Structure 1
Amino acid sequence: MVEHKVGDDIAEAAERRMTDILGRPVFLYGFPAELKAFYMKKMPKASADGPTFTESCDLLMPGVGEIVGGSMRIADEQELLEAYKREGIDPAPYYWFTDQRKYGTCEHGGYGLGVERFLAWLAKRYTVRECSLYPRWPGRATP
């Protein structure tokens, strides 16, 4: 058994094992910022030298693992521009995303539902491949 500490990236196999042992849905939240997307809002730090976590969560389901991931988004223009720079992203193509902060936005979030994962959970299938219209694996990259 692998011991995890705060700040670790938890592998899919460990997530699945956890939900299988508990036998119920689990929400994981507050992931280390360096593991998540640049546009995710950061939680206030507990201490000056402590790690930075995102205001994000994943919904894990028994037998499948993660089916939904979501987060609050950065609402401050300057913070977003710094995130582009930190990640080496040219902000020009994302002017529309940045302008939302420039001209005023509200606190907001978003999520993504893995439809095939949701179907795998509903159908009690171990692998998402069985629920995908065009499954891929090594040696098979085309329908």
Structure 2
Amino acid sequence: MTYVEALEYLRANHITKDDGNFYEFGDDIPEMPERKMTDAIGVPILLCKFPAEIKSFYMPRCKEDQRLTESVDVLMPGVGEIVGGSMRTWDYEALLEGYKREGIDPSPYYWYTDQRKFGSVPHGGYGLGLERFLCWLLNRHHIREVCLYPRFLDRCTP
């Protein structure tokens, strides 16, 4: 499901922001609306092609629509997002442009930038939320049920 299709689903099923307004293109869809949608659909969703403005600068834009990134979130019923991934900018000049646009000093990232400077290939990466994966695997509703050191309102240490 693309981000745009998710917006259409939320609108069609009257899932709104806290103020009652519908989500519009460019809005980040928070956890609860994603979970409502995923739980209602009842199967894992690969939510892809997010607006570039709400994603990291190192995610390349889609060739067919420069407003979107080559990115994906894996959403699981009963849990929400368990994996976030994307292609990575592999073009040296595009990476330097991203640093500049975001106001990031590239010098501490010389090792990362040099990988692009001296030759790179199209590639991607992802992050797996282990606790969220455990929520899905163990059929637990809240992350604090599987977290090694859960935090509660009046408890900040194990």
TM-score by length of 1: 0.90
Q: Which has the higher contact order (CA 8 A, sep 6+)?
A: 1
Partners of 1:44 and 1:106 lie apart in 2 by 16
Aligned residues of 2:49 and 2:68 also touching (Cα < 8 A) = yes
Q: Is the 8 A contact 2:96 2:106 kept in 1?
A: yes
1:136 lines up with 2:151 in the alignment: yes
Tell me if structure 1 keeps the 8 A contact 2:47–2:72.
yes
Contact kept, 8 Å, 1:116 with 1:131, in 2: the verdict is: yes
Q: Whole-Å Cα distance in 2 between the matches of residues 98 and 142 of structure 1?
A: 38
**Alignment map for 1:13-32 (pairs within 5 Å):** 13-32=32-51
State which drifts further: 37-46 or 73-82.
37-46
Q: How does 1:18-97 map to 2 (within 5 A)?
A: 18-44=37-63, 46=65, 52-97=67-112
Amino acid at match of 1:125: R
Q: How many residues align?
A: 139
8 Å CA contact 1:45, 1:52 repeated in 2: no
Match 2:121 to one of 106, 122, 127: 106
More displaced stretch, 104-113 vs 30-39: 30-39
Task: Give the drift of 1:118.
Answer: 0.3
Which residue type is aligned with residue 96 of structure 1?
A: W
Report the 3-state secondary structure (helix = DSSP H, G, I; strand = E; otherwise coil) of the residue aligned with 2:28: coil
Q: For residue 38 of structure 1, report the CA deviation from its aligned partner.
A: 1.5
Amino acid at match of 1:103: F
* Structure 1: stretches of 5+ with no match in the other structure: none
Question: TM-score, with normalisation over the residues of structure 2?
Answer: 0.82
Indicate the percent of aligned positions where both proteins have the same amino acid.
60
**CA positional deviation for 1:135:** 1.7
Call closer, same or farther: CA 1:38–1:140 in 2, change over 3 Å. farther
For 2:107 and 2:155, how far apart are their aligned partners in 1?
A: 37
C-alpha RMSD of the superposition = 1.5
1:49-104 superposed Cα distances (whole Å, 9 cap, x missing partner): xx611100000000000001100000111110111111111100100000001000
Indicate which of 30, 35, 43 corresponds to 1:11.
30
Greater Cα shift, 114-123 or 36-45: 36-45
CA distance in 1, matches of 2:26, 2:88: 20
